[in-house]
Structure 1
Amino acid sequence: MNVLIADDHDLVRDTLAAFLSAEGEIAVETVEDLDAACRRMEETGGFDLVLLDYTMPGMHGLEGLRRALDLNGGNPVAIMSGTAPRTIAQDALDAGAVGFLPKTLPAKSLVNAVRFMAAGETYVPVKFMTTEEDEDINPIAEKLSSREMQVLGGLCRGLANKEIARELELQEVTIKLHVKTLCNKLEAKNRTHAAMIAKEAGLF
């Protein structure tokens, strides 16, 4: 089984690859952004399964998923994320993803999920989908767009506007506007306060 992992965080990418490679029958390739993933799919004709990080450079939300689906020769593509809420997971499935993997998934569950999805089955952890239902009621999650959630995720990781802009492939001035909007919506005094509110609410 050939699996392609696309994630811009070295630790996450290498850890996932190590878990899967340890199984023996799973050959794993890794890349750090969507463009590199698309090139590999074009060069190879596709993989048995492609795992895409939802917030890595080039994704632009679910546009990246659609690109990958077009290039992977009809084989399954799944989304991974450490921050996306249940609504994004559902949107990904509706757009054609074969599954959604929270990055908190235990190693054994990850391997089982990969086998499941490579066989053409849909995989989303039941606990993730049902637990997030309660969080959807959270007024913070309800009032933010998916892009604002991405920017807020960057703030929670301590990234500067320039770094968030690079990660999301947007202009720095656009990120500044998003941060201002976030502070208004969250009634935060500044970006640090916004990140603190998000963490206390359990969004990240």
Structure 2
Amino acid sequence: MKVLLADDHDLVRDALSAFIETEVDMQVTAVPDLLAACDAARQTLYDIILLDYSMPGMNGLEGLAQAIQAGDGQPVAIMSGTAPRTVAQEALNAGAAGFLPKTIGARSLINAIRFMVAGETFVPADFMTTEDVAEDHPIAKLLSRREVEVLKGLCRGQSNKEIARDLELQEVTIKLHVKTLCRKLSARNRTQAAMIGKEAGLF
């Protein structure tokens, strides 16, 4: 099964690719934008194409139609960590095979891919109602549970002192967690770490 994955965030793209390729019957081609995705789809017939909703070239759902055409009608699904339910419905109405929130767990992602390749439509019913990060999300697996909690605070714009109060920890402990999670996420600082968390759809 050939999967084409297009996402402009290196860490997200690499993590998702790694999880998909743990399946012995799946091969992944990963690209950073819509143009590269369409070029790849014209050269190779993929079983499914996964597109990040907010990556360069998408222009909302215009990129969906381009990918469907480039992929010769093969299933194309939209992925997003921020798009609302209305966008998911619009994507389906425009011909998408499914909508994958980036909070989806790794195993659920694999099941969703197989489901869509089989000709079905996939949208998780509760993707807009859950606030907690999926524990088996590829990015979450890089961090400890406590680091995920700290990252959640960073994404909310909280200071170390505020995060420490909420988690009932010492501020110096929060500083250490921030340093560690920045290293694991290859983030230069807390602001970039928060951006990575948000773009990955963790929260």
TM-score bucket (shorter structure): 0.5 to 0.7
Equivalent-residue separation in structure 2 for 1:36 and 1:87 (angstroms):
27
Structure 2 CA distance for aligned equivalents of residues 105 and 39 of structure 1: 27
**Matches of 1:84 and 1:32, distance apart in 2:** 19
Larger relative helix fraction:
1
CA distance in 2, matches of 1:28, 1:131: 29
Letter of the structure 2 residue corresponding to residue 85 of structure 1: P
How far, CA to CA, are the matches of 2:109 and 2:68 in structure 1?
Answer: 21
Aligned counterpart, 2:4? 4
The equivalent residue for 2:31 is 31
Work out the CA distance in 1 between the residues paired with 2:109 and 2:80.
Answer: 13
**In the aligned structure 2, how far is the partner of 1:74 from the partner of 1:51?**
13
Q: What is the deviation of 1:71? A: 1.1
Shift in Å, 1:10 = 0.7
Count of matched residue positions in the alignment of Structure 1 and Structure 2: 138
TM-score normalized with structure 1 length: 0.63
> Counterpart in 2 of 1:18?
18
Amino acid across the alignment from 1:4: L
Structure 1 residues 82 and 157: CA distance shift in structure 2, 3 A:
farther
Residue identity opposite 1:23 in structure 2: E
CA distance in 1, matches of 2:13, 2:107: 16
User: How big is the shift at 1:15?
Assistant: 0.9
Q: Which residue of 2 aligns with 1:99?
A: 98
Distance of 1:38 and 1:98 partners within structure 2: 17
Distance between the aligned counterparts of 1:116 and 1:68, measured in 2?
19
- Cα deviation, residue 130, structure 1: 6.2
Find the aligned partners of 2:93 and 2:156 in 1 and give their Cα distance.
Answer: 29
Identical positions, percent: 65
Unaligned runs of at least 5 residues, structure 2:
132-154, 158-197
Alpha-carbon distance in structure 2 between the residues aligned to 1:27 and 1:65: 22
Moved over 6 A (4+): none
| 5+ long unaligned stretches in structure 1 | 133-155, 159-198
Question: Is 1:119 aligned to residue 118 of structure 2?
Answer: yes
2:80 is aligned with what amino acid? S
| Counterpart residue number, 2:167 | none
**CA distance, structure 2, for counterparts of residue 157 and residue 34 of structure 1:** 30
